[in-house]
């Protein structure tokens, strides 16, 4: 029984699946906006790596994670080109369904790792939870900004960023209770994914601020 290794392997699998899901959501949004092939690859990269890059800039971490692990960069290039060759419009709805869970796993894992890295750097709790949200969510935000849309996650009333925020606090709580890094990471990911799953299952909505202009 080597649980630490198993956890690391699980983390790696989640990371790969989530990066692919983020890139796929970039490919689909780019295609919806009728970008050309270059635009599709760039938006896929921005969606997959934007949040983590912003995290690394804010925490002043170098090398950037996609520089250190440039296999991810090759993978997203390959995935976007394969998607353009293989996918057709009729595949979009099935693809959106297929990436819901890897996307939720990525939301949880990236929020948890972002929060944990910030805590290691000595950031206070709220700032650490915020950087977790930035890590998990700002790839999609940059995707929508480049595609000239108000970021979906700020207006569709579906709990998304807020699940990541809760997962970040789970990491902080686990850390304060003396849990190991691996346990805190797992706790944060599980909390985010469970909340996101419940939100989708029970069709939860975030309140919006009614306004008459």
Binding site for a copy of itself (CB under 8 A): 30-40, 42-43, 45, 53, 57-58, 60, 62-64, 66-67, 70, 73-74, 77, 84, 87-90, 92, 122-127, 130, 141, 145-151, 153-157, 159-162, 206-213
Quote the least distance from Cβ 1 to a copy of itself, whole Å: 36
Quote the least distance from Cβ 4 to a copy of itself, whole Å: 28
Which residue lies nearer to a copy of itself by CB, 141 or 186? 141
Token pair 């997959």 is found at 48
> Omega into 117 within 30° of 0, i.e. cis?
no
Which residue lies nearer to a copy of itself by CB, 7 or 81? 81
Quote the least distance from Cβ 31 to a copy of itself, whole Å: 5
Rounded CA separation 59/7 (Å):
25
Q: How many CB atoms lie within 10 A of CB 62?
A: 10
Quote the least distance from Cβ 144 to a copy of itself, whole Å: 9
Rounded CA separation 129/18 (Å):
20
Please report which helix (H) or strand (E) contains residue 96, including its range: helix 92-98
Please report which helix (H) or strand (E) contains residue 60, including its range: none
Which residue lies nearer to a copy of itself by CB, 21 or 128? 128
Which residue from 23, 145, 138 is spatially nearest to 84, judged by alpha carbons? 23
Which residue lies nearer to a copy of itself by CB, 2 or 34? 34
């Amino acid at each position: 029984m080597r649980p630490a290794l198993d956890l690391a392997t699980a983390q790696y699998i989640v990371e790969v699946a989530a990066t692919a899901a983020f890139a796929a959501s970039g490919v689909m949004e780019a295609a919806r906006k009728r970008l050309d092939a270059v635009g599709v690859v760039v938006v896929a990269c921005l969606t997959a790596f934007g949040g983590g890059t912003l995290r690394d800039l804010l925490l002043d971490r170098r090398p950037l994670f996609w520089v250190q692990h440039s296999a991810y960069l090759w993978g997203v290039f390959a995935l976007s080109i394969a998607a353009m060759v293989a996918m057709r419009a009729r595949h979009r709805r099935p693809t959106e369904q297929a990436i819901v869970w890897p996307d939720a796993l990525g939301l949880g894992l990236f929020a948890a790792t972002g929060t944990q890295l910030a805590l290691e750097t000595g950031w206070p709790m709220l700032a650490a939870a915020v950087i977790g949200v930035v890590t998990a969510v700002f790839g999609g935000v940059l995707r929508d900004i480049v595609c000239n849309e108000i970021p979906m996650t700020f207006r569709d009333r579906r709990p998304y960023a807020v699940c990541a925020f809760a997962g970040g606090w789970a990491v902080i709580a686990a850390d304060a209770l003396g849990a190991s890094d691996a346990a805190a990471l797992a706790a944060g990911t599980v909390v985010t994914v469970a909340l996101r799953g419940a939100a989708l299952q029970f069709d939860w909505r975030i309140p919006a601020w009614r306004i008459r202009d």
